[in-house]
Amino acid sequence: MSVRFTRSFLLVALAAIVIAVVPINAGADVVGLARIVDGDTLEVNRTKIRMHGIDAPESKQSCQINAGSYRCGEKSTAALAELIGTSTVRCEAKDQDRYGRVVAVCFVGQTNLNASLVSQGWALAYRRYSMDFISQEAEAKNNKRGLWAGVFTAPWDWRKGKRLEVFQQPSASFGAADGCVIKGNVSSKGSKIFHVPGGRYYEQTRIDEGKGERWFCSEADAEGAGWRRSQQ
């Protein structure tokens, strides 16, 4: 191998390394056809994109509705795929995460994909990093769209190993309207504790809304309202 060839090869390799480690500038666009990875991740022109401000169920994650368990991670991925179809995607870079993915807001035409997924209920507003999609989440929750039609574990909790108990369709005597089956109980000492289907005290717990007790559609909803999960 000649010295000239070796030097040229090293220069090309060094340039590739530099390109790989230099962050993409905020505001830069990544444009092209997309490959869907999951409900909040896609690849555009070989660039891995993590969608800004949202968190969707993981690919293997399951959630619950009255009819039973379903693969909400797959539903979220399908929802993103349906929004994109065969259209060109434009992603506006905001940052780069620790995995080297570009964090971006993505569009098909004038449609904001991040906002649309949250509005449809197939992703949550990721408050840890952004408050941009709070109103879309409230809309989805109020209309019981997507995940909000049943019971689910927030994706960030699911990644930590937290799981819902597997349960059958609740009986009419215990089930709440609209598929919200988590029981927010207030104890005699004023402690706010919620019980999920399958829990030790779930069946015997009765909800009295006159005492400030209530039903919740998700554990994230209950925790956000000040309740804590029963340890049994």
The set of catalytic residues is 50, 58, 101
Give yes or no for a contact between 216 and 180, defined as CB atoms under 8 angstroms apart.
yes
**Could you tell me the sign of the dihedral formed by the alpha carbons of 222, 179, 51, 58, in that order?**
positive
How deeply is 12 buried, as exposed, middle or buried, from its count of CB atoms within 10 A (0-12, 13-18, 19+)? Answer: exposed
How far apart (Å, rounded) are the C-alpha atoms in residues 219 and 217? 7
Q: How many CB atoms lie within 10 A of CB 36?
A: 16
Residue 155: name the closest of 82, 219, 102 by CA: 219
Task: Name the amino acid, one letter, at 100.
Answer: G
- For 45, which DSSP code? T
